[in-house]
């Protein structure tokens, strides 16, 4: 059963007890031409936590995600992931880091010409040296892990619902048994029950696999019910990070309107949480 919103206002989840920092960003500045997107930004992600990353549209959430993944250049600052600075790392170190993360890009980003099984096998082919039979077997385990029916394996993305696409993309992100997954807007486009189911899956994976989760989201339900900690991006840096209770106490116009707005008040109401739990059954 999902924890209640009031439970979630406390520091919670297995990550809270374990302070090991697996991503440490310090004083990160990213510019595109004259435009500064991130300036002296610092952020920690701890092992075993679900960190929700939120902020106004266009504030730079995707830019930060891409910068952590080494897909964007930064002008200054450092980002260590598993204690390794990806930018200055050797090829072997980079490979080792890449094998420990999985990414679910916005809209799933599955290869449309490949089946679900083949999509999940893409990272396995890239990073592991396994026989086709073993890869098939592992890919089928991932399909089961994310709650898809076995017959999803042979379907193409065009044959899947939005929720199934998210799950298939998550299965691909989990292909290498990563320590951390990066999720960019994982519940966007899902109906509330589908989104609640997906959040529940993420929480189960955190609890059973000890997975750390970095989740960019606009979804207040996810922030209130799934995230152990939240970080808010604004004014080119992390304005505040901590459990939900910290967001609720933090005095900043955007943070106030987001976490105390009408929609947030509805979500925080226990009846709403109960109805979501009931609906997800």
Ligand X SMILES: Nc1ncnc2c1ncn2[C@@H]1O[C@H](COP(=O)(O)OP(=O)(O)OP(=O)(O)O)[C@@H](O)[C@H]1O
Of the ranges 50-58, 80-88, 144-152, 239-247, which one interacts with ligand X (CB under 6 A)? 50-58
> Which residues partner with 24 through β-bridges?
44, 80
- Residue with Cβ nearer ligand X (171 or 247): 247
Of 135, 204, 221, whose CA–CA distance to 167 is shortest? 204
Of 47, 16, 65, whose CA–CA distance to 217 is shortest? 65
Say how far apart CA 267 and CA 221 lie, in whole Å.
Answer: 7
Q: Hey, which residues between 27 and 46 contact ligand X (CB under 6 A)?
A: 32, 37
Positive or negative torsion for Cα 112, 178, 191, 243 = negative
Q: Rounded to the nearest 10 degrees, how much is the dihedral formed by the CA atoms of 230, 179, 185, 108?
A: 180
- Does 67 bind ligand X (CB under 6 A)? Our answer is no
Could you tell me the two tokens for 190? 């899902």
Of the ranges 21-29, 61-69, 136-144, 164-172, which one interacts with ligand X (CB under 6 A)? 61-69
Mutual angle of helices 162-173 and 192-209, in 10-degree steps: 20
- Residue with Cβ nearer ligand X (185 or 197): 185
- Applying CB under 6 A, which of residues 1, 34, 58, 131 lies at the interface with ligand X? 58
Classify 31 as helix, strand or coil: strand
- Please check whether residue 279 is in contact with residue 15, taking contact to mean a CB–CB distance below 8 angstroms: no
Q: Hey, which residues between 158 and 177 contact ligand X (CB under 6 A)?
A: none
- Does 60 bind ligand X (CB under 6 A)? Our answer is yes
- Does 59 bind ligand X (CB under 6 A)? Our answer is yes
- Does 62 bind ligand X (CB under 6 A)? Our answer is yes
Of the ranges 54-62, 160-168, 187-195, 263-271, which one interacts with ligand X (CB under 6 A)? 54-62
- Does 61 bind ligand X (CB under 6 A)? Our answer is yes
Helices and strands, counts by H and E, the chain: 13, 10
- Residue with Cβ nearer ligand X (58 or 150): 58
Say how far apart CA 37 and CA 205 lie, in whole Å.
Answer: 32
Q: Hey, which residues between 174 and 233 contact ligand X (CB under 6 A)?
A: none
Of the ranges 57-65, 153-161, 186-194, 236-244, which one interacts with ligand X (CB under 6 A)? 57-65
- Residue with Cβ nearer ligand X (68 or 181): 68
Residues engaged in binding ligand X (CB under 6 A): 32, 37, 55, 57-63
């Amino acid at each position: 059963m999902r924890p209640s919103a009031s439970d979630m206002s406390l520091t919670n989840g297995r990550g809270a007890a374990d302070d090991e920092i697996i991503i440490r960003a310090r004083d990160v500045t990213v510019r595109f031409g004259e435009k500064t997107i991130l300036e002296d930004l610092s952020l920690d992600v701890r092992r075993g936590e679900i960190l929700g990353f939120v902020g106004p549209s266009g504030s730079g959430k995707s830019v930060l995600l891409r910068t952590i993944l080494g897909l964007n250049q930064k002008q200054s600052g450092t980002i260590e992931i598993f204690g390794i600075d990806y930018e200055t790392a050797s090829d072997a170190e980079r490979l080792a880091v890449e094998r420990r993360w999985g990414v679910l890009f916005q809209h799933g980003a599955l290869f449309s010409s490949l089946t679900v099984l083949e999509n999940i096998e893409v990272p396995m082919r890239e990073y592991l040296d396994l026989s086709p039979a073993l890869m098939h077997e592992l890919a089928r385990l991932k399909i089961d892990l994310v709650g898809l029916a076995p017959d999803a394996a042979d379907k193409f993305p065009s044959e899947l619902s939005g929720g199934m696409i998210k799950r298939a993309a998550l299965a691909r992100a989990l292909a290498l048994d990563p320590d951390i997954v990066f999720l960019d807007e994982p519940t966007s486009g899902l109906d509330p029950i589908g989104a609640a189911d997906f959040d529940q899956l993420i929480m189960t994976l955190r609890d059973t696999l000890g997975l750390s989760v970095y989740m960019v989201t606009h979804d207040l339900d996810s922030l209130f019910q799934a995230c152990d900690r939240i970080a808010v991006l604004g004014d080119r840096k992390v304005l505040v990070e901590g459990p939900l209770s910290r967001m609720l106490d933090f005095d900043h116009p955007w943070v106030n309107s987001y976490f105390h707005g009408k929609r947030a008040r509805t979500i925080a109401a226990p009846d709403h949480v109960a109805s979501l739990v009931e609906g997800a059954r």
